[in-house]
Amino acid sequence: MKIFKKDLVDLSTNTESAEELFRESFAVLKNKGYVQDDFLEALNKREHDYPTGLEFPNIAIAIPHADPQYVSKPFIYIQKLNNKISFKHMGNASKEIFPELVFTLGMKEGEKQLELLSELMEFFTNEKIVEELKSINNEEKLLYLLSNNIMMEE
């Protein structure tokens, strides 16, 4: 079963901060049965301790996630941000970045999470694919592009 799902794509997210984004994401994920009650707290703590903002040549993204015990079933929640939201850089917490896309991850197994992070890193280093990604404005096209370039199952 594919990890990318249409009901977990929001191409027009209107939040003003990472905290607000996390609260809204949690509400959606909890309502759909993907996460435990303490996922939001775990997500905020993990982001504070280990920032997830990444910069690539053509795009900035964030990949927030929490440990597997807070996940009920595997997911990737993809959000395209309408507003500039500050995230700390993964490799340099004193550096602020403003991602265009946020991929909130929830894996039931730590190894799968590492595998997915690796696949995403490879995906975002491909400048041609990133340019195509940035021009997409509908869920089906986004899911098609991701599913054909990131080979990840639940």
Whether 105 has a pLDDT exceeding 90, the answer reads yes
Positive or negative: CA dihedral 91, 18, 69, 124: negative
Task: Evaluate whether residue 16 is within a structural domain.
Answer: yes
DSSP state of 11: E
Report the pLDDT value the prediction gives residue 154, as an integer from 0 to 100.
Answer: 60
What is this structure's pTM? Answer: 0.93
Residue 64 sits in a domain of what CATH number?
Answer: 3.40.930.10
Query: Is 1 a member of any domain?
Result: no
In the chain, how many domains are there?
A: 1
* Contacts for 148 with CB less than 8 Å, ≥ 6 apart: none
Would you say residue 70 lies in a domain?
yes
Q: What percent of the chain has pLDDT over 70?
A: 97
- pLDDT tens for 28-45 read 999 999 999 999 999 999
Q: Which domain holds residue 19?
A: 6-149
User: What six digits make up the tokens of 86?
Assistant: 């500050």
* Residue 79 domain flag: yes
Q: Is 17's pLDDT higher than 80?
A: yes
Residue 13 lies in a domain: yes
Evaluate whether residue 121 is within a structural domain: yes
Asked if the structure places residue 154 within a domain, the reply is: no
Region 64-72: mean pLDDT is 95
